[in-house]
């Protein structure tokens, strides 16, 4: 076990990022990741931020782009949030994996889908809100400032990142929990790698400074960071 080597971000690859993974293995991992997100309250930071944005801007309609949308579980939660809040939504998922689009469609994810590398999105493609959840830890440091500026360029009202805090507690908790629950082998492997690849407040302070953006970095229970910014109208 390497849980104690968390002083800096790991560069160990995640199995899910391997394009050679078969469709069946990918879908099995997505199902268990949705389960983990649900029991770990992983959707709450994004939904809480949307609540605040709607209150600040008085918005009754929103177009939302979810980057690294995977199987569409976050978009399905946002769709239910919109119904509960009376907000009319236009939802779009973006993921470079064709398997993600198929899994999201089969799970009944509402909205449209873009299968592409995010940096290939046309410059004039803009959305009211751009979000990402459990995606940024997949990116190396060299691409993160570029991604922050990309979100700034494609969002009309604001953008928000929801990702893991790099810390021994979630590392060991996931190491034990994924095994006790007998989750998918890809999830067992990638869960702790994700924590090791994730962030501290100091990381986000440095990365947002490198991008030249005055972003809000907020701790969210349990062991999550919300990094967000309202875009000037």
- Residue 88 corresponds to which tokens in the numbers above? 């009319």
Gap between the Cα atoms of 27 and 29, Å rounded: 5
Which of 112, 85, 108, 54 is CA-nearest to residue 230? 54
Model pLDDT, residue 22: 78
Full-model pTM: 0.94
Which of 25, 8, 60 is CA-nearest to residue 187? 25
- Among 3-7, 13-17, 120-124, 186-190, whose mean pLDDT is lowest? 3-7
pLDDT digit string (tens) for 23-65? 888 899 999 999 999 999 999 999 999 999 999 999 999 999 9
Gap between the Cα atoms of 113 and 105, Å rounded: 9
Model pLDDT, residue 131: 98
What are 65's strand-pairing partners? 92, 130
User: Residue 229 — pLDDT band, cuts 50, 70, 90?
Assistant: very high
- Among 8-22, 88-102, 209-223, whose mean pLDDT is lowest? 8-22
Question: Is the predicted pLDDT of residue 68 greater than 90, yes or no?
Answer: yes
Model pLDDT, residue 4: 53
Q: Answer yes or no: are the C-beta atoms of 86 and 54 closer than 8 Å.
A: no
């Amino acid at each position: 076990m390497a849980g104690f080597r968390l002083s800096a971000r790991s560069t160990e690859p995640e199995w899910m990022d391997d394009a050679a993974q078969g469709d069946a293995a990918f879908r099995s991992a997505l199902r268990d990741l949705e389960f983990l997100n649900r029991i770990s309250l992983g959707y709450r930071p994004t939904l809480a931020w949307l609540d605040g944005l709607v209150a600040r801007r008085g918005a009754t309609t929103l177009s939302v782009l979810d980057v690294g949308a995977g199987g569409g579980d976050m978009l399905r939660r946002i769709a239910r949030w919109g119904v509960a809040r009376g907000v009319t939504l236009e939802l779009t998922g973006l993921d470079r994996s064709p398997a993600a689009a198929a899994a999201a469609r089969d799970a009944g994810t509402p909205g449209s889908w873009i299968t592409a590398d995010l940096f290939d999105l046309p410059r004039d493609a803009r959305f009211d809100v751009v979000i990402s959840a459990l995606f940024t830890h997949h990116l190396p440091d060299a691409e993160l400032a570029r991604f922050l500026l990309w979100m700034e360029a494609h969002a009309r009202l604001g953008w928000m990142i929801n990702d893991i805090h790099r810390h021994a507690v979630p590392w060991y908790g996931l190491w034990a929990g994924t095994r006790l629950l007998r989750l998918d082998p890809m999830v067992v492997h990638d869960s702790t790698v994700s924590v090791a690849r994730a962030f501290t407040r100091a990381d986000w302070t440095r990365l947002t400074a490198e991008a030249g953006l005055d972003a809000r970095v907020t701790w969210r229970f349990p062991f999550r960071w919300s990094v967000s910014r309202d875009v000037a109208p």
